[in-house]
Amino acid sequence: MVAVVAGRGERHGVRATALGELVLERARIVLPAVSGLQQEAVRFARARREPERLRLGGTHGPLLGALVDRLAEAVPGATVTTRASWSERELAGLLAEGRLDFALAGTCGSAAPPDATQLVWRKIAVDPVFVMLPGGHPLAASAEVELAELAGEDWACVPGDGCFADCFTAACARTGFAPRRMYETDTASCVHLVQVGRAVGLCRATFPTTPGIATRPLAGTPLVWRHVLGWHPATQAPDTAATVLAEARSAHAGAAARSDSYAHWLAGNDQPPPP
């Protein structure tokens, strides 16, 4: 082969024969492809040796931490990372771009989650929306609170780009008032504003028992919150998605059991919130 490629000797060097030139031309094509194949094989072998990774996103709330806790037992070899965001649309974008594996989000009532045509969203649970009152508030001793009774209050809420603000405003309008003042801030600050009597706030029924705060259901359940788990169908195996969804539902059930006010509400209502 060397003699064929090298060709015949000439006065000023060696020139390849016609067959040698053909072999060299093919080698220029084949060798890079073989090298690329070797690199892909190395990457594949390394990926098979790496532990499973789960990148979770979620809006701010206790469910994300509870899910991480449960996945530590359900998928003990996995590396779990989290990213919190106030924006459901941002989380949907990260799923679509492949920068998150799963995202916990929520919608008001039956509203569609973001990017529902490209992503898969599955219901975790549906909760009534409760109101947070200072412990010394005149309505704190009530079993439930009429929304109209809070017409003169200032409100504390967390940021977000979902539909909930519109749903709340519409519910207030149906009872004949508009919210007087809204403090939009992080969860810890909302809790503080309620504790010191500066405002009242809305919360999920699973909101944990907190000193200085009474959480009470709104009469007639004018607002509900639907917890959902989303992922991109092209990047997640069905068995992995089923495991994460099951653990998310168990995490929610645990949060509901730890809320005294929610437990009382469930005991007094024959029907759960709508699906």
Q: Going along 89-240, which residue ranges are E strands?
A: 102-108, 120-134, 155-157, 182-184, 200-204, 213-217, 224-231
For residue 201, what pLDDT is reported?
95
Q: Return the DSSP state at 31.
A: H
Neighbours of 106 (CB within 10 A): 24
Q: State the chain's mean pLDDT as an integer.
A: 85
Q: Return the DSSP state at 112.
A: P
For 211-264, write each residue's pLDDT tens digit. Answer: 999 999 999 999 999 999 999 999 999 999 999 999 999 999 999 888 888 888
pTM strictly above 0.75: yes
For residue 62, what pLDDT is reported?
79
For 216-231, write each residue's pLDDT tens digit. Answer: 999 999 999 999 999 9
For residue 268, what pLDDT is reported?
83
Q: Mean of the pLDDT values across residues 83-103?
A: 94
The total number of residues written for the chain in this structure:
275
